[in-house]
Amino acid sequence: MPASDMTVPSSVQPPQRVLLGPGPSVIDPAVLSALARPTLGHLDPAFLVIMDEVRSMLRRVMGTENELTFPMSGTGSAGMETCLVNLIEPGDSVLVAVNGVFGTRMAEVARRAGAEVTTVEQTWGRSFSADELRAGAGGKSFKLLCIVHAETSTGVLQDLVPARAVADECDALLLVDCVTSLGGHTLHLDDMGVDAAYSGTQKCLSCPPGLSPISFSPRASAVLAERRTPVQSWYLDLSMISNYWGSDRAYHHTAPINMLYGLHESLRLVLTEGLEERIARHALHARALVAGLESMGLTPRVAADERLAPLTAVAVPDRARAFLLSQFSLEIGGGLGPMAGNTWRIGLMGAGATRHSVTLCLAALRAALTEQGQDPGVDPLLAAGATYAS
Amino acid sequence: MPASDMTVPSSVQPPQRVLLGPGPSVIDPAVLSALARPTLGHLDPAFLVIMDEVRSMLRRVMGTENELTFPMSGTGSAGMETCLVNLIEPGDSVLVAVNGVFGTRMAEVARRAGAEVTTVEQTWGRSFSADELRAGAGGKSFKLLCIVHAETSTGVLQDLVPARAVADECDALLLVDCVTSLGGHTLHLDDMGVDAAYSGTQKCLSCPPGLSPISFSPRASAVLAERRTPVQSWYLDLSMISNYWGSDRAYHHTAPINMLYGLHESLRLVLTEGLEERIARHALHARALVAGLESMGLTPRVAADERLAPLTAVAVPDRARAFLLSQFSLEIGGGLGPMAGNTWRIGLMGAGATRHSVTLCLAALRAALTEQGQDPGVDPLLAAGATYAS
């Protein structure tokens, strides 16, 4: 190899971005600081205390008493796969509601786990009614009904009441993707009758990506206990992993110690703020953002009554994203699938759901529109300000 | 819930341990510092540069030109599963060499991937000769021969020359676990003819756990391209993940950004020190440790010619571990499987492979033996010192 290829890169010095895309979100400095604390062994008594605190706080944030509640050692998609491969045995019938990328992904993962998958489709950007889900079920029984609470690809919030009702009609467990809703929308797994849920850390919890909190109800846990075949994934096999997170402390794999310090800190921040206060904060700043967008003639892609607070999709040209990043070090997201090239996704999540973020985002978008020769009209900060004043 | 349960725990303040177990190992402060740098989006141009640097450095540390070389978003066991589920299709014949926990695990993961698994067994604490592997193969062909380069459960180093030779005789790809050898023992994937390898970050690379570097040779990559069935794991499907790490930059899952900063820094430290120098350092301090142990009558479990440098297994009572942790904040590992309760595992890995660690470990062990009423004889630091002087 020539000597010129043998140089060693410098240490990473990432620019300080304002992360207002679909995640990762703005990270609180206290969480970053926690990541850098001294590494412990995964069976160190001091680490076991940290694990117990993470589980306990996670239960409070997820609104559940479920014993089987802990973060998986992978990102949100690992949590999705964990739920599906543990609950599905080859040949099981599964109903998946698809109205975006993540419903599509659930159907694909379920097929790979050997399920007979029935999908019920909805236009991207819309949520499902009970009747729509019921029509998709077609009067049949299913082992699982899978649905996305907060579709990160479109910004749609799904009411879980009709989902639970139809799951009951189908004798199905209800599996919910709450990656973008946990800590930013009302989500109480026990009250809502959710049997299995997975989330991510890099959205409304404002922790870097790398872990996926999951929770299984007693009914879902009973399904695990009654499996006739081994879980196809050893790494994601909950029967073994729950022995590490539970009282046995049996070694399964080496937990990502420092990432768990970060999650611990981010859960602390959620509970210190108060879950209801945090959810109200997400709602407030989303309203102000939308007011500002609409004042510039930018219409959200999702109707007000099924719109996510942490993530707003708007129909605008894609090329302004690079302008925002280069001029303002401000990241927002592009569209996925059928929304690629015609939709922006603006996230106000966790530590990023602030008036400062709204102000910065609206002002930068106004500049981007102006730079592209569009007339954004009135100053959007005034419309946003009116929301805050009301 | 009673108010007393609603308190929020304090921020984590982990004690400063000296991690001389089987991993996680002592972490360089520069790596911890890198973890806490500002989070970037997973498609940020500045992050893509970091990804490219990680891949490039990883190739140098693994001794390969393999295009498909990057860290998986999970711990070492996720890397193991990645290699197996991508290379195996249902019904494939796989030969697994088992002489410890991790060979056992490979066989189990391969079975769950649908392979017809043949195991060849060796006494725990011994490596395999070509004849032993050949006898296990029984003249049959296999798609894969799976073997552990550095058995973390026993401290055994496996010569890969006979493994490659027998793999050739079986028409098999050679899959190697190098979790505990990468960065601490000579390992040159291309020269050694390794087709697929996985490792971990928390051993000789001295980065916290959470990522698993993998590498696939062109021959192994061709097997991926020719699959007839989808990979059973979506999260670990290399055909999609390589589109994110490669030039397409296609979103698959949100990469664990800050963990990758840590790995970037730890690879930098390996290359700055020099790979050969680092391997020689591991060898030197392992020799000094063994000299000190032997001077106290503690005999390594593995013969000198097949003993790992980064991990030394010694036959001593288990209960002194708690004494070392409580008195000296010094972590060493217990035994696993048939070695539980009768073996300690002492790791001198990465930033932990120093004379300071050897001194601390030997002095603390001497105190532990004395505290248990044994006579450790001469001061082990003198024997270790003689190694350093020679």
Q: Which domain holds residue A308?
A: 275-389
pLDDT at A337: 84
Residue A15 lies in a domain: no
Q: What is the pLDDT of residue B342?
A: 85
Judgement on whether residues B240 and B323 belong to the same structural domain of the protein: no
Spatial separation of the C-alpha atoms in residues A270 and A30, rounded to whole Å: 12
**Same structural domain, B321 and B381:** yes
Pairing mode, strands B116-121 and B68-72: unpaired
- Among B271, B286, B301, the domain-final residue is B271
**What radius of gyration do chain B's Cα atoms show?**
22
Phi-psi region of B379 (alpha: psi -120 to 50; beta: other; left: phi over 0): beta
pLDDT tens, B274-323?
A: 999 999 999 999 999 999 999 999 999 999 999 999 999 998 766 788 99
Distance CA B185, CA B155 (A): 12
End-to-end, the C-alpha distance of chain A in Å comes to 66
CB atoms near residue A111 (< 10 Å): 17
Q: Strand A330-331 vs strand A18-19: parallel, antiparallel, or unpaired?
A: parallel
Q: Indicate if the pLDDT at residue B34 is higher than 60.
A: yes
Given a cut of 60, is residue B327 above it in pLDDT? yes
Using the predicted structure, report yes or no on whether residue B2 has a pLDDT greater than 70. Answer: no
The mean pLDDT of chain B is: 95
**pLDDT class of B340 with cuts at 50, 70, 90:** confident
Strands (DSSP E) along chain B, which ranges?
18-19, 68-72, 93-98, 116-121, 144-148, 150-151, 156-157, 173-177, 196-198, 212-216, 311-314, 330-331, 333-334, 344-347
Same structural domain for residues B320 and B233? no
Closest chain A residue to the Cα of B106, Cα to Cα:
A234
Q: Model confidence over A55-75: pLDDT tens digits?
A: 999 999 999 999 999 999 999
The pLDDT score that the predictor gives to residue A3 is 39
| Whether pLDDT at A2 is above 80 | no
Angstroms from B279 CA to nearest CA on chain A = 18
**Is A283 part of a structural domain of the chain?**
yes
Tell me the sheet residues that pair with B347.
Answer: B311
Name the token pair of B133: 């592997």
Mean pLDDT of B231-258: 94
Cβ neighbours, 10 Å, residue B345? 25
Are A77 and B8 a contacting pair at CB < 8 A?
no
- Which residues in chain B have their CB less than 8 angstroms from residue A261's CB? 12, 14
Task: Dump pLDDT digits (tens) for A332-377.
Answer: 999 888 888 889 999 999 999 999 999 999 999 999 999 988 888 8
Question: Would the pLDDT of B377 be above 90?
Answer: no
pLDDT for residue A240:
95
Cβ <8 Å between B39 and A14? yes
> pLDDT grade, residue B1 (50/70/90)?
very low
State residue A377's pLDDT score: 84
Structural contact between residues A234 and B81, judged by C-beta atoms closer than 8 angstroms: yes
Asked whether residue B219 falls in the same domain as residue B279, the answer is no
Has residue B10 been placed in a domain?
Answer: no
Q: Which residues of B touch A230 (CB under 8 A)?
A: 111-112
State residue B378's pLDDT score. Answer: 86
Q: At what angle do helices A355-371 and A320-328 cross, to 10 degrees?
A: 120
Express as a percent the part of chain B with pLDDT over 90. Answer: 90
Question: Do B209 and B104 share a domain, yes or no?
Answer: yes
User: Chain A partners of B241 at a C-beta cutoff of 8 Å?
Assistant: none
SS3 content of chain B, % helix, strand, coil (to 5): 45, 15, 40
- Do A165 and A231 sit in the same domain of this protein? yes
The arithmetic mean of pLDDT across residues B20-29, rounded, is: 97
Q: What is the model's pLDDT at position A5? A: 54
Which pLDDT band holds residue A318 (cuts at 50, 70, 90)?
Answer: low
User: Which one of A206, A239, A271 terminates a domain?
Assistant: A271
Question: Taking residues A136-156, what's their average pLDDT?
Answer: 98
> Do A99 and A141 sit in the same domain of this protein?
yes
Last residue of a domain, one of A252, A271, A290: A271
3-state helix, strand, coil in chain A (%, to 5): 45, 15, 40
Rounded to the nearest angstrom, the minimum Cα separation between B208 and chain A is 7
C-alpha to C-alpha distance for A256 and A186, rounded to whole angstroms: 28
Q: What average pLDDT does range B82-91 have in this prediction?
A: 98
Who's near B306: CB < 8 A, 6+ residues apart? B126, B127, B156, B157, B158, B159
pLDDT, residue B5, reads 54
Contacts of A272 in chain B (CB under 8 A): 8
**B318 contacts B324 by C-beta, under 8 angstroms:** no
Residue A24 pLDDT exceeds 60: yes
The pLDDT tens digits of the residues spanning A244-272 come to: 999 888 999 999 999 999 999 999 999 99
What is the per-residue pLDDT across A186-202, written as a single tens digit (0 to 9) for each?
Answer: 999 999 999 999 999 99
Answer yes or no: is A16 within a domain.
no
Average pLDDT, integer, range B346-353: 98
Residue B372: what pLDDT? 86
pLDDT digits (tens, 9 = 90+) for B106-132: 999 999 999 999 999 999 999 999 999
Amino acid at B213: P
Rounded CA gap, B78 and A368, in Å?
43
**Distance (Å, whole) CA A291 – CA B233:** 43
- Select the residue of B53, B81, B259 nearest A234 (Cβ to Cβ): B81
User: What's residue B4's pLDDT?
Assistant: 42
| Any domain includes A107 | yes
Q: Which residue type is seen at A206?
A: S
- Same domain assignment for residues A49 and A194: yes
User: What CA–CA distance (Å, rounded) separates A83 from A103?
Assistant: 14
User: For residues A258 and B258, is the Cβ–Cβ distance under 8 A?
Assistant: no
Q: Is B3 inside any structural domain? A: no
To the nearest whole number, what is the mean pLDDT of chain A?
Answer: 95
Q: How many domains does chain B have?
A: 2
Here the CATH number for the domain that contains residue A194 is 3.40.640.10
Tokens 């676990």, residue?
B177
Cβ–Cβ gap B42/A36 under 8 Å: no
- Beta-carbon contacts of A92 under 8 Å, excluding residues fewer than 6 positions away, are A114, A115, A116, A143, A144
Whether A23 is in a domain gets the answer no
Count of beta carbons in the 10 Å neighbourhood of residue B219: 12
Optimal mutation site among A28, A251, A253, interface B, most CBs of chain B within 10 A: A253
Query: What's the DSSP call for residue A98?
Result: E
A20 phi and psi, to 5 degrees?
Answer: -115, 40
Mutate: best of A7, A19, A39, partner B, most B CBs <10 A: A39
Residues of A in contact with B41 (CB under 8 A): 17, 19, 21, 24, 331
Do B111 and B220 share a domain, yes or no?
yes
CATH number at residue B353: 3.90.1150.10
Judge whether residue B6 has pLDDT over 80. Answer: no
* Beta pairing partners, B300: B314
Nearest by CB to B230, from A17, A75, A112: name it.
A112
A70 contacts A54 by C-beta, under 8 angstroms:
yes
Positive or negative torsion for Cα A166, A167, A168, A174: negative
Q: Least CA distance to B11: which residue of chain A?
A: A265
What pLDDT does residue B3 have?
40
Residues B240, B281 share a domain? no
- Is the same domain home to A68 and A133? yes
Looking at the domain assignment, is residue B149 inside a domain? Answer: yes
Chain A residues inside the 8 Å CB shell of B212: none
Shared-domain flag, residues A317 and A213? no
